[in-house]
Amino acid sequence: MKKKLNLKQVAEQLRVSTATVSNAFNRPDQLSAKLRDRILKESAELGYFGASLAARSLRRGESGVIGVMLADSLSYSFSDPVANQLMQGIAEVLVEQKKQLLLLSNGVSSAEQSGAETLPDGFILYGALQGNAFEHILRTGKPVVAVDFEFSETASVNIDNEQGAYAIASHALSKDDSSQVAILGLRLIDSARVCRLVSEDLVSQSKEISRSRLAGYLRAAKDKGTNISADKIWHIPINSPERAEIAAREALTSNPLPNVLLCMSDVIALAALRVAHELNIAVPEQLQVTGFDDIPEASRSTPALTTVCQQSLEKGRIAARMLLEGNMNEKRILETRLVVRQSCK
């Protein structure tokens, strides 16, 4: 195999100037079709297929690469169905627009100077980033779309979590005034362990997703005249089936037994269904279970999950389109939709 050639060497070989070769690749109108065809064909024969991204991007000031940074670790994110659906939507649009996708790892240490945030032409940020990665990205001055969090200076795509939670809780509580309600909550407090809340934990003005959902649940309960005390609310530190099962087992072996279980994610709700099955608790007859997200698995479980559709896929598409179309002032709030299936009629 011959040594890799660069544009200059190709130009020499073909006995034209570098500008002409460059034009052949980038600006068809700048030369005769005939010459262009010759150049394209012969460079391919020489093993030259186009400019190096580094050089072109240095010169042009843009790379054709879009950076996506996820609040959770990259590795974990690949196991999260919601993140995957979002990525799927993003990827769909980027591929269609011939953009490349750089996955930035949101490391804690600022020391990891790879400078990767300098390459992309724009960013999609999923979830509120901790650390100074966020700041670094803002400093680049490049367009940013925030997904599932809000930042004054950037465009964003969000859903109304409070409203979605209110809707599903209202549905779950509608038939029975004397409900025993338990809540399996995600990331409600700052603890790495599954545990119940205490009453002080309820006072929080946080705008985090999980706090909004909790607020929605509690508002619905209040409207129905139901009370939910702090010890009926579980905190789950991470959206994993294993942790969720632990919490579900605690909740479903507590006394009095809840007959409505509001779960802050479908992963948690699915875990609850498994635990209920294992404990011979009939769903929905003895226990109503609700989820949140509407991940693909939600419609396939037995019983199928009643949940709130937050359109993660569409969210990804929209975020990507906003970024590419440059709507950098838009603050988009997507509709949520109550999806009633068997787990909570």
Partner DNA sequence: TTGAAAGCGTTACCAC
Partner DNA sequence: GTGGTAACGCTTTCAA
- Count of residues that bind DNA according to CB under 7 A: 27
Our finding on whether 136 is near a second copy (CB under 8 A) is yes
Give the residue from 147, 173, 60 showing the smallest Cα distance to 321: 147
Binding of residue 136 to DNA (CB under 7 A): no
- Check residue 327 for interaction with DNA (CB under 7 A): no
d(CA 228, CA 223): 12
> Which partner, a second copy, DNA, none, binds residue 87 by CB below 5 to 8 Å per kind?
a second copy
Q: Are the CB atoms for 249 and 261 separated by under 8 Å?
A: no
User: Cβ(147)–Cβ(230) under 8 Å?
Assistant: no
| Cβ contact 64:120 at 8 Å | no
Interacting partner of 101 out of a second copy, DNA, none (Cβ under 5 to 8 A depending on kind):
a second copy
| 108 is a site residue for a second copy (CB under 8 A) | no
Q: What are phi and psi of 160, to 5 degrees?
A: -90, 95
What is the SS3 assignment for 174? coil
Indicate the residue among 153 and 200 with the shorter CB distance to a second copy: 153
Q: Per rule CB under 7 A, is residue 7 in the interface with DNA? A: yes
Q: Determine if 59 is a binding residue for DNA (CB under 7 A).
A: yes
CB nearer DNA, residue 26 or residue 253:
26
Q: Pick from 31, 35, 65, 339 the residue near a second copy by CB under 8 A.
A: 65
**Residue 138, exposed/middle/buried by CB under 10 A (0-12, 13-18, 19+)?**
middle
Cβ of 226: how many Cβ atoms within 10 Å? 18
Q: Which is nearer to DNA, 119 or 272 (CB)?
A: 119
State in angstroms the smallest separation of the CB of 136 from DNA.
Answer: 13
Q: Is 51 in the site for DNA (CB under 7 A)?
A: yes
Using CB under 8 A as the binding criterion, the count of chain residues that bind a second copy stands at 61
CB of 310 to a second copy, least distance (A): 17
Tell which one of 22, 43, 63, 161 touches a second copy (CB under 8 A).
63
b/e 264-298 (16+ beta carbons within 10 angstroms → b) = bbbbbbbbbbebbeeeebebbeebbbbbbbbbebb
Assign 302 to helix, strand or coil: coil
What are the distances in angstroms from CA 116 to CA 67, 68, 113, 128, 155?
A: 9, 11, 8, 19, 22
- Got the DSSP string for 20-37? HHHHHHH-GGGS-HHHHH
Contacting residues toward DNA, per CB under 7 A: 6-8, 15-20, 22-23, 25-27, 29-32, 35, 51-52, 55-56, 58-61
Contacting residues toward a second copy, per CB under 8 A: 1, 4, 25, 47, 49-58, 63-65, 73-79, 84-85, 87-89, 91-92, 94-95, 98-105, 107, 112-116, 118-119, 136, 139-141, 241, 270, 274, 277, 296-297, 300, 302
